């Protein structure tokens, strides 16, 4: 039987207000429009838990050890209720055309999925990293091994339905007397009764504990990436299979490098004289010190591309590139000697009285700035 309290992250003495608050929070978090298709299954689990715990009658039944959603004929509305189900409810569990009668419900259910969020630095996203995450999970009860029964005991056949899981009775209708079938009120549709529940797990077959799990985070992850660890979620009810564990990535911003897809971008300040004369500058990257060739006559906005020094690609081999955007620094404070030297340079170049000249956008500074912003070299 699904632990609806655990699905909503609540204790069994949670109030109606706490149940509603937890549901609203989880529903917003796991809605497919927010979490994507991966969140659909978890969204359904949260909705199912709220359907039971928000209804006083269903909650009372659930607290007595009966899951109203697992009982035959109670499937949470019209979804999944087909032609055979209609005849089954009127003709004693079987179709008038010879269909088979539904048997008792199984206590075994798959465990729920869990989600944990972890942060990575930009450098860890570039190369990948192994990270430990801490998460609270449901475990198979070590005392009863998931059987839900106290040691030395086992479920007994329900005397009311004799193990069928449902009871039949004759009811009057417009069609006359018809045989109807409904879940057994004593065993809840399971066909058996646990007379001596396990004292350590209260007959749930599961306990909860905190786990530390190592996760291999591949290169190329980014904020929103989810890593699925199959069969590492909650243990199933009644010895059922484990759910999955999802690790969602949050990437921290870097003070120097900006990420755009698989590429990295940064700005390198270059003195005016170095840009005019040309030089080679050393910059520190995630791969160590690298040389940047500043060609003679470099203008502000020029971009140097360093291939293969970007982020590792998540879905294919190789890495993106590192784009170094050059920012030519024009001096604002000059000594008398520096002022004199610049005036002599202007005279030698015939630029004492420079003339303004318009240039086409295609080859001017705006074009170069645009190309640099787009990552062109």
Give the DSSP per-residue string, 304-353: EEETT-SPBPSSSSSB--EEEEEEEE--S---HHHHHHHHHHHHHTT-SS
Is 266 a known ligand-binding residue? no
Could you tell me the sign of the dihedral formed by the alpha carbons of 124, 125, 126, 128, in that order?
positive
Is 184 a known ligand-binding residue? yes
**162 Cβ partners below 8 Å, 6+ apart?**
none
**Structural tokens at position 332:** 């604002």
Burial of residue 62 (number of CB atoms within 10 Å: 0-12, 13-18, 19+): buried
* 8 Å CB contact between 262 and 220: yes
Is 198 a known ligand-binding residue? yes
Strand-pair partners of 268: 326
Element (H, E) at 57: helix 56-63
E-only strand ranges, 121-244 = 129-140, 156-157, 166-173, 176-183, 192-193, 206-217, 226-229
Is 141 a known ligand-binding residue? yes
Is 158 a known ligand-binding residue? yes
Is 148 a known ligand-binding residue? no
Q: How far is CA 283 from CA 143, 257, 268, 289, 306, in A?
A: 61, 12, 8, 6, 11
Binding region: 141, 144, 158, 161, 184, 187, 198, 201
Binding region for Zn(2+): 141, 144, 158, 161, 184, 187, 198, 201
């Amino acid at each position: 039987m699904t632990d609806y309290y655990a699905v909503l992250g609540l204790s069994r003495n949670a109030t109606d207000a706490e149940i509603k608050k937890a549901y609203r929070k989880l529903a917003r978090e796991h809605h497919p429009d927010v979490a994507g298709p991966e969140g659909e299954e978890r969204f359904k689990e949260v909705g199912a838990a709220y359907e039971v715990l928000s209804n006083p009658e269903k909650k009372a039944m659930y607290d007595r050890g009966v899951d109203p959603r697992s009982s035959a004929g109670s499937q949470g509305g019209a979804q999944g209720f087909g032609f055979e189900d209609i005849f089954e409810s009127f003709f004693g569990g079987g179709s008038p055309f010879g269909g088979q009668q539904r048997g008792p419900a199984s206590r075994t259910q798959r465990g729920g999925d869990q989600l944990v969020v972890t942060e990575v630095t930009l450098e860890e996203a570039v190369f990948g990293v192994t990270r430990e995450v801490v998460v609270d999970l449901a475990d198979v009860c070590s005392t009863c091994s998931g059987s839900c029964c106290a040691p030395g005991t086992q479920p007994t056949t329900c005397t009311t339905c004799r193990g069928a899981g449902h009871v039949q009775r004759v009811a009057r209708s417009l069609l006359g007397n018809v045989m109807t079938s409904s879940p057994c009120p004593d065993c809840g549709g399971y066909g058996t009764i646990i007379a001596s529940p396990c004292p350590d797990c209260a007959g749930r077959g599961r306990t909860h504990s905190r786990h530390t799990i190592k996760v291999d985070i591949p290169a190329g992850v980014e904020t929103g990436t989810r890593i699925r660890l199959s069969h590492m979620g909650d243990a199933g009810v009644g010895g059922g299979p484990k759910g999955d564990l999802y690790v969602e990535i949050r990437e921290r911003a870097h003070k120097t490098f900006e990420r755009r897809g698989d590429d990295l971008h940064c700005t390198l300040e270059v003195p005016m004289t170095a840009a005019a004369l040309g030089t080679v500058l050393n910059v520190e990257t995630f791969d160590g010190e690298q040389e940047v060739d500043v060609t003679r006559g470099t203008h502000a906005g020029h971009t140097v591309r360093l291939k293969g020094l970007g982020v590792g690609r998540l879905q294919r081999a190789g890495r993106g590139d590192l784009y170094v955007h050059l920012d030519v620094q024009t001096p604002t404070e000059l000594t008398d000697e520096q002022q004199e030297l610049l005036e002599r340079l202007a005279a030698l170049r015939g630029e004492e009285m420079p003339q303004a000249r318009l240039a086409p956008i295609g080859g001017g500074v705006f074009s170069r700035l645009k190309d640099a912003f787009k990552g062109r070299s």
